[in-house]
């Protein structure tokens, strides 16, 4: 991660002047500004809005022909079509509703953390790699 490098190269100086905490906070704020989702209450409202716009249905390739209202809000994952880390925004046009399975299987390195747990819980099959989708 880029900030680790920044920390390693400047951390020693920051510690010497006793500003390590301030420096860390600054880095944190900088990184949050880039990657942050909106505040929780705003995000909850956004979640609901996107889910309703998507007719309460997963937009993934394995579910898009499911009937409307087939996905509950609590099970809905709101996906950034263009990842935040790649310059995507929190704008509604960049958001869509996915179920957990379609979300896990989306080809995206930031989603790989979900694979292990989803496998153990039987959300995705052993041969999940065959079902990875892009888009």
Q: Which residues bind Zn ion (CB under 5 A)?
A: 58, 60, 63, 99, 102
Q: Give dist(CA 132, CA 109) in Å, integer.
A: 12
Measure the CA dihedral 127/129/131/133, to 10°. Answer: 170
Name the pairing type of β-strands 77-80 and 95-98: antiparallel
- Closest separation in Å from C-beta 66 to Zn ion: 8
- Closest separation in Å from C-beta 102 to Zn ion: 3
- Closest separation in Å from C-beta 60 to Zn ion: 4
- Closest separation in Å from C-beta 123 to Zn ion: 10
Q: Give dist(CA 56, CA 70) in Å, integer.
A: 6
Q: Give dist(CA 34, CA 72) in Å, integer.
A: 30
Between residues 27 and 101, which has the closer beta carbon with respect to Zn ion? 101
Between residues 54 and 60, which has the closer beta carbon with respect to Zn ion? 60
Between residues 27 and 54, which has the closer beta carbon with respect to Zn ion? 54
Between residues 27 and 105, which has the closer beta carbon with respect to Zn ion? 105
**Tokens of residue 24, six digits:** 């860390």
Rounded to 10°, the helix 20-35/2-16 angle is 160
């Amino acid at each position: 991660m880029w900030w680790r490098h920044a920390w390693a190269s400047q951390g020693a100086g920051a510690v010497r002047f006793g500003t390590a905490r301030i420096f860390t906070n600054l880095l944190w704020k900088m990184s949050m500004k880039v990657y942050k989702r909106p505040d929780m209450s705003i995000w909850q409202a956004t979640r609901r809005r996107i889910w309703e716009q998507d007719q309460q249905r997963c937009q993934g390739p394995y579910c898009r022909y499911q009937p409307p209202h087939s996905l509950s809000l609590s099970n809905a994952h709101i996906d950034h079509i263009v990842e935040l880390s790649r310059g995507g925004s929190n704008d509604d046009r960049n958001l869509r509703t996915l179920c957990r399975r379609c979300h896990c299987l989306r080809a995206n390195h930031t989603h790989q953390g979900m694979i292990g747990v989803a496998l153990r819980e039987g959300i995705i099959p052993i041969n999940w790699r065959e079902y990875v989708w892009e888009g």
